[in-house]
Amino acid sequence: MRPGRIIMLVLGTLSALLGLGLLAGAGAVGWANYQQRDSGFFTTPVERFAADSYALTSPRLDIMTESSFPETSPVVPGSIMLRGSAADPAKAIFIGIAPQADVAAYLAGVNHSEIVDVRFAPFRVQYREVPGTSVPARPADQTFWTALATGPGTQELQWDLRPGTWAVVIMNADATAPVAVDLRAGARSDLLWPVFVGLLIGGILFLLIGVPLIVFGAAGLGKGTPPAGPGTPAQAYAGQAVPGQQANAAQPYAAGAPPGVPPPTRPGAGVVYPARLSGYLDPNLSRWKWLFKWFLAIPHFIVLFFLWFAFGVVTIVAWFAILFTGHYPRSLFNFNVGVIRWSWRVAFYCYGALGTDRYPPFTLERTDYPADFDVDYPEKLSHGLVLVKSWLLAFPHLLIIALLTGTAQTWVYHDGEWLQVNAGMSLFGLLVFIAGVILLFTGVYSRGLFDFLMGLNRWIYRVTTYVALMRDEYPPFHLDMGPRDPGEAAAIPSAVTPPGPGYAPLPAGPGAPGGPGSPPPVYGQPGPGVTGQSGLGGAGQPGPGPATAGRPRASRVSTVSAGRQPPGRISRTPPPTRKTRPARTAPPARTSHRPPNTSGTTAAAAGQLTRAARPHWCARVTLPARFCGRQRFAIPLPC
C-alpha cells in the first residue's frame, strides 16, 4: 500500500467528516431560523407550576456578565417570552423580570420556591424551598421591574435580552399563597441566520477539499490490483492443498486436528455469482482466544471506520459515473472490493465466524489468508438499474438480512411514555456465540454450524456487492453453505469419490472439467458436473465426471448398477436384472481361478483389477447380453 495515498485518504476522510458535521449543524440552525420567522418563538408545552409559597422564582440568569460586557452594553440579539394564566380563574397572575439583587431584597424573609430543574419528557419540576415568615407587598406596586405583565386571564411578557444578572418572578397579583399557574416559555435569536450561513459555507468548503482527496487516494490504492476473472480460486493458505492436486482424505472441523485439506465442496453444489466469498476453518483453533478477539481487532475497527467512509464517498462518485457512462471506474472498483475483503477477514476472525486465530493482514489485496472475497469486474453496467437497484430491487434481500442480523426490539412504558429498547442479540450473533461456547467446552467447531454461518455470510456479502452498484446480476435467494464458494468450484476436479490409497488419481490436466482450460461457470447456474439443484442450500446431482467418463463400458455399467462404487472396483453383487436365456455364442464356463483372458472392455476392467490387487479369484458376475451387445461376458471377482 502506498503511504502517500493512505495519507490522502485519511486527510480527506477527516475533512469530509468535518464538512458533513458543519452541514448538519447548518441544517439544524436553518430549520430553527425558519421556525422563528415572523417574530415567532421556540416554545415549550403548557405545564402547571404550583407551590404552597408566596412566589415562584427562577435561578439567576447570567447574560454576558463577563468584564468585557458591561451592563451598559447594547441589547443582545435575542428575546424571551413568558405566557401564562392562574390555575384559579378568579385570580389574576403577575409575571415580572428584574435584576437578581432587587428580587432578593424584595423576597427577603418571604417563603418562596425557586425552580431548580424542569424536564418536559415527561414533565417534572424540582423546587428549592426558601423559608420565611414575612408577607410580601403587592408585586405590581414595586418600581424595580424591568418588564412585567399582570392581570386576569392569560398574560404574555416579551423581553429583549440584556447583559446582566436577572431573575423571573411569578406570583398571584394580590401576593397571596399558594401559587398555581399554567405557563409556557419561548425564546428566539437574531443570530441564527448568520450562523446558518457560516456553517453552510464552511461545510461546503471542507467537503470540496475532502471528497477529491478521498477519490484520488482510493483510486491510487486501487491501481495495480485488477480483480480476478470468473472462477478464479483464492490463493492457497498454510495447510490448504492447492486445488487440482491429489489428496487422500479431508480433515475434520475440529480444533487440535492435524492441518490438512478442508472438507471439499462438491463442484456445482450451489449457485454461481460473480461475488465470491470463501473461508476455511483453522484446524487448530484455540478454545478461549475468541473471548477477546474483539479487543485485538480494535486497530482494524479504527482503520475500517476510515475505509468505510471512503467506501461511501467512492460509491456515490461511481453512481454518477455509471449513470452517465455505464462503467464503474476500475481503480475505484478495486478499492471498494478491497474494503469489503478487509471487512470479511476481520469478521471471519472475530465476530462473523470465529474461523481462525490468525491475525488479519492490513491490506486491501488478496493474500494467503484463509478468508477471501473477490468480485468480477463488470465491463458494462446498466444506466437505469443504478437508479433503483440499491434500495427498491434489493429491498427483499435487505429485509431478510435485517431479520438475521438485527436485534430484537420491544416497547417499554417508562415515566409516562413508551420507549423502544433492545431485547437481545441478533440471530446471527447468537449462532456465532453458540459456536464459540461449543468450542470453549469441547474444543470442536461444529461443521454444520460453520457451514451455515458461511452461507449466511455469503448471502450478506452478495447483497452488499449488489447494493454497492458493483454488479447488475440479482443476488440469488440461495443459501450456499460451506467454506468454498460455488464460483471457485471449477478449479476442483469433479469426481464421484475423492481419491485415496488404492484408487486411481483424478485427472486434472488441460481440458478436463474443472481443470485448466475449462470454460468458466455461468452466473446464476449450477457449477460443472451438475444436472440440477435443490432448494435452499441444497446441492445438485452430479453428472458424469472425469472418473467415469473415460471408463470402459462394461466397467461403467457394473459400477452404476452396483450403487456408485469407487472407481476401478466392481461390485460382488450381480445387477438386479430379469432372467434371460444364454446367448447361443456364449463361451463355455471357465473353472480356473485365474483371471479369464478376455478382450475389449472386459479385459480392460480385469486388468485394472489386477493392477489394483491380485487376490484369489473365487467368483464371477455374468453380464446379460443386453448390457454388452450380442455377446455375454463373465467377470471374475476376488474373494
Residues 258 and 184 in one domain: no
Total structural domains in the chain?
3
Report d(CA 559, CA 225) in Å as an integer: 47
Residues 183 and 296 in one domain: no
Residue 352 lies in a domain: yes
Q: Which of 169, 190, 211 is the last residue of a domain?
A: 190
DSSP of 145-169, one letter per residue?
-SEEEEEES-EEEEEE--SEEEEEE
Residue 163 lies in a domain: yes
Residues 348 and 487 in one domain: yes
Residue 56 is inside which H or E element, if any? Answer: strand 55-57
Average pLDDT (376-403) is 94
Question: Residue for cell digits 475505484?
Answer: 332
Burial of 333 (0-12, 13-18, 19+ CB in 10 A): buried
Residue 610 is inside which H or E element, if any? Answer: helix 600-612
Report d(CA 150, CA 172) in Å as an integer: 9
Reported as a single tens digit per residue, the pLDDT across 587-606 is: 554 444 444 444 444 444 44
pLDDT of residue 445: 95
CATH of the domain at 113: 2.60.120
456 pLDDT above the threshold of 50: yes
Average pLDDT (276-281) is 96
**Percentage of the chain exceeding pLDDT 70:** 65
Residues 620 and 479 in one domain: no
Reported as a single tens digit per residue, the pLDDT across 344-354 is: 999 999 999 99
pLDDT of residue 17: 96
90 pLDDT above the threshold of 70: yes
Residue 441 lies in a domain: yes
Report d(CA 243, CA 495) in Å as an integer: 13
Q: Quote the cell numbers at residue 397.
A: 434481500
Q: What's the pLDDT band for 75 if we cut at 50, 70, 90?
A: low
Residues 175 and 81 in one domain: yes
Residues 177 and 273 in one domain: no
Residues 165 and 261 in one domain: no
Report d(CA 480, CA 537) in Å as an integer: 5
Average pLDDT (436-453) is 94
Residue 299 lies in a domain: yes
Question: Residue for cell digits 486465530?
Answer: 357
Q: What's the pLDDT band for 123 if we cut at 50, 70, 90?
A: confident
Which value, in Å, is the radius of gyration of the alpha carbons in the chain?
Answer: 40
Confirm if 184 and 84 have CB atoms less than 8 A apart: yes
Residues 176 and 314 in one domain: no
Residues 336 and 409 in one domain: yes
- Of 557, 583, 382, give the one whose Cα is nearest residue 469: 382
Reported as a single tens digit per residue, the pLDDT across 30-58 is: 988 887 865 678 888 899 999 999 999 98
Residue 502 lies in a domain: no
Torsion of CA 13, 15, 20, 22, to 10 degrees: 160
Q: Which of 145, 172, 190 is the last residue of a domain?
A: 190
Reported as a single tens digit per residue, the pLDDT across 244-275 is: 333 333 333 333 333 334 444 454 457 899 99
Reported as a single tens digit per residue, the pLDDT across 291-338 is: 999 999 999 999 999 999 999 999 999 999 999 999 999 999 999 999
Range of the domain at 108: 42-190
Confirm if 385 and 335 have CB atoms less than 8 A apart: no
Q: Which of 140, 155, 190 is the last residue of a domain?
A: 190
Residue 406 lies in a domain: yes
Confirm if 256 and 277 have CB atoms less than 8 A apart: no
Report d(CA 604, CA 610) in Å as an integer: 10
Residues 269 and 153 in one domain: no
Report d(CA 546, CA 550) in Å as an integer: 7
Report d(CA 571, CA 552) in Å as an integer: 15
Residues 258 and 395 in one domain: yes
Residues 302 and 439 in one domain: yes
Residue 24 lies in a domain: no
Query: Average per-residue pLDDT in the chain?
Result: 76
Question: If you average pLDDT over each of 232-246, 360-374, 508-522, 613-627, which comes out highest?
Answer: 360-374
DSSP of 89-134, one letter per residue?
TTSEEEEEEEEHHHHHHHTTTB-EEEEEEEEETTEEEEEEEE---B
Q: What's the pLDDT band for 184 if we cut at 50, 70, 90?
A: very high
Q: Which of 62-66, 127-131, 267-271, 542-546 has the lowest mean pLDDT?
A: 542-546
29-35: long-range contacts, CB 8 A cutoff, minimum separation 24: 29/192, 29/195, 29/196, 29/199, 30/192, 30/196, 30/200, 32/192, 33/192, 33/193, 33/196
Q: Which of 86-90, 143-147, 595-599 has the lowest mean pLDDT?
A: 595-599
Where is pLDDT greater, at 577 or 165?
165
- Within 428-479, strands assigned E span none
DSSP 8-class letter at 41: -
Residue 246 lies in a domain: no
The residue type of 429 is G
- Of 96, 109, 105, give the one whose Cα is nearest residue 56: 96
pLDDT of residue 423: 66
